[in-house]
Amino acid sequence: AQSVAQPEDQVNVAEGNPLTVKCTYSVSGNPYLFWYVQYPNRGLQFLLKYITGDNLVKGSYGFEAEFNKSQTSFHLKKPSALVSDSALYFCAVRDPFKAAGNKLTFGGGTRVLVKP
Amino acid sequence: DAGVIQSPRHEVTEMGQEVTLRCKPISGHDYLFWYRQTMMRGLELLIYFNNNVPIDDSGMPEDRFSAKMPNASFSTLKIQPSEPRDSAVYFCASSLSRGDYGYTFGSGTRLTVV
């Protein structure tokens, strides 16, 4: 079965400092990996995805994520955090070779608080 | 494209009343998902449809919850009778059957049962 873990419930970072949100996954094959962000009182918004190719993927709002197959990780990063990056972040995985329909498995979410 | 449209945005109802939440997916998407989000339980998948057919409803909490998708452009989630513990934000999301395609979420319906 596919699963995702986000080990940190909350990450606190000062504005201008690097931001990292951790995600590890478990699938039997090569994964499709996604990051979503949820701002207050909003739905989840797509940030970026890894399907194949370059392990470093770039997404919206200056975010990037690195796929590491040996560590089964897909950590989200931003070199310089902004106060406006304060939100809830979700990692999600799909095993494309499993007959699970189109279902993504989401992590529990990590709340990011960027302080001025 | 207007995205996934949910209505109403907010719903306040009394315990025991019937509540109907509505969702219009993105045109051409063949998957539709209903999620519930609470502080205690996080994001929970309730049910999902493929080509208007329910595929997995194992996340529906109990018989008080039901969902339908009468056509490709409309789905409802009904709670009857509602209870205070049903208070949550309910999200609808749609997607394509392509494995590399993510979900598009609606803005959600915040349900409060008093």
pLDDT digits (tens, 9 = 90+) for B5-16: 999 999 999 999
Length of chain A: 116
Query: Could you report the per-residue pLDDT of A39-74, keeping only the tens digit for each?
Result: 998 999 999 999 988 999 999 999 999 999 999 999
Distance, in angstroms, between A25 CA and closest chain B CA? 17
- Residues in B closer than 8 angstroms to A90, CB to CB, are 43
Q: In the prediction, which pLDDT does A16 show? A: 97
Q: Which single residue is written with the structure tokens 């979420």?
A: B105
DSSP 3-state assignment of B18?
coil
Which residue(s) pair with B95 in the sheet?
B31
Beta strand A56-58 pairing with A64-68: antiparallel
Of residues B42, B45, B97, nearest to A109 (C-beta): B42
pLDDT band at A106 (very low <50, low <70, confident <90, very high): very high
Q: In the prediction, which pLDDT does A99 show? A: 53
Of residues A42, A101, A104, nearest to B103 (C-beta): A104
B residues 70-99 lying closer than 8 A (beta carbon) to A: 91, 93, 95-97, 99
Backbone φ and ψ for B62, nearest 5 degrees, come out as -170, 180
**Interchain CB contacts (distance < 8 Å): A and B:** 55
pLDDT exceeds cutoff 80 at B35: yes
Comparison of pLDDT for B85 and A30, the residue scoring more: B85
Tell whether A109 is within 8 A of chain B (Cβ).
yes
Task: Give buried/exposed letters for B60-92 (b at 16+ CB in 10 A, else e).
Answer: beeeebebebeebeebebebeebeeebbbbbbb
Mean of pLDDT values over B76-92: 97
A23 half-sphere exposure, CB direction, 13 A CA radius: 33
Q: In the prediction, which pLDDT does A100 show? A: 56
Closest Cα in chain B to A110: B42
CB of B84 closer than 8 Å to CB of B113: yes
CA pair distance B79, B25, nearest whole angstrom: 20
Distance, in angstroms, between A48 CA and closest chain B CA? 9
3-state SS, A34-103, equals EEEEECCCCCEEEEEEECCCCCEEECHHHCEEEEECCCCEEEEEECCCCHHHCEEEEEEEECCCCCCCCC
Q: Which of B100, B104, B109, B111 to mutate to test the interface with A (most CBs of A within 10 A)?
A: B100
The two structure tokens encoding residue B5: 């449209």
Comparison of pLDDT for A3 and B82, the residue scoring more: B82
Closest Cα in chain B to A90: B43
CA pair distance A104, B93, nearest whole angstrom: 11
| Contact at CB, B102 and A51, closer than 8 angstroms | no
CB of B33 closer than 8 Å to CB of B87: no
